[in-house]
A = this chain, B = another copy of it.
Amino acid sequence: MRKNAKFDRDQVVDKATNLYWEKGFHATSMRNLQDVIDMRPGSIYATFGSKEGLFKEALMRYTQQGVTALHLCRNETQSPLEALKRFVKEIVIDTQTAAPNGMCMLAKTVAELTDSNRDLLEEAKRSLKILETEFEKLIIEAQEHGEVAKDKVAGQLARHLQIQISGLRIYAKTYGDEAPLDQLVEDIFTHYPF
C-alpha cells in the first residue's frame, strides 16, 4: 500500500479535532494530544508549528466536514428545506450522544476564547459565517423551489437558523434528556419565519 501523506495528516487532524472539540482549547494539553494522535512533540511541532496551529487546522477541518455533511443532506433529500431540517436534526440530536461534545465546536470556541488568541477566535468566527452562508444558499434554493416565500430575505432566515441552532445546542447540553429536541427542531421549521 502506497503511502499517502495527506491521508495520514487528515487522520491525525481528525483525532486532534475530536479531543479539542471535547475539552476545548485551554483544557487540552499537548501531552494529552500526543497520546491521542500518537505523535511525539518534535513531530507535532515540525508539522503544525504550535498548539494553536494544530487547533486552527482542527477548526478548518471541522468546518469543512460540516459543509460536506450539509451537502450530503442535500443530496439525500428531495427539497432544500428538508435538507436543512435533516442537517439540524443531525447536529442537534445525533451529536448529543455520538459526538465528543453536544456543543458546536465553533460556537464553543467563540464562547471560550478571548483576544489573547485572536487568530483562533477569528478563525472560528469566520467558520460560523461560512456555515451561515451555506444555509443561505439552501434557503435561496428553497425560495426558487417555492418552499419559502420570495419576499423573505434569505440572509435573515439563515441568520435566524444559525441563532436557533446555537441556542438549541446550549439548551440541549443544559437539559440533557429532558429537552424534547426533536419537537424543538420541528418547531424551527414549522413556525416563523419559514
Spell out A's residues near B (CB within 8 Å): 22-24, 26-27, 101, 103, 107-108, 110-112, 114, 116, 125, 128-129, 159, 162-168, 170-171, 173-175, 184, 191-193
Contact = CB atoms under 8 A, between A and B. Distances in A.
A171 B164 contact: no
Contacts of A159: 171
B24 A110 contact: no
A163 B164 contact: yes
A26 B117 CA distance: 14
A171 B166 CA distance: 8
Contacts of A23: 114, 116
Copies of this chain: 2
B173 A163 contact: no
Given A23-B114, A27-B26, A192-B191, A168 B163 contact: yes
B170 A111 contact: yes
A154 to B, nearest CB: 16
14 contacts: A24-B112, A27-B114, A107-B111, A107-B170, A110-B170, A112-B112, A125-B175, A159-B171, A163-B164, A163-B168, A163-B184, A167-B167, A191-B192, A191-B193
A27 B113 CA distance: 9
Contact of A108 (B112, B165, B171): B112
Nearest to A103: B111
Given A24-B26, A191-B193, A110 B174 contact: yes
Closest 10 CB pairs between A and B? Answer: A167-B167, A163-B167, A192-B192, A26-B26, A166-B167, A166-B170, A111-B111, A26-B27, A108-B111, A191-B192
Contacts of A191: 192-193
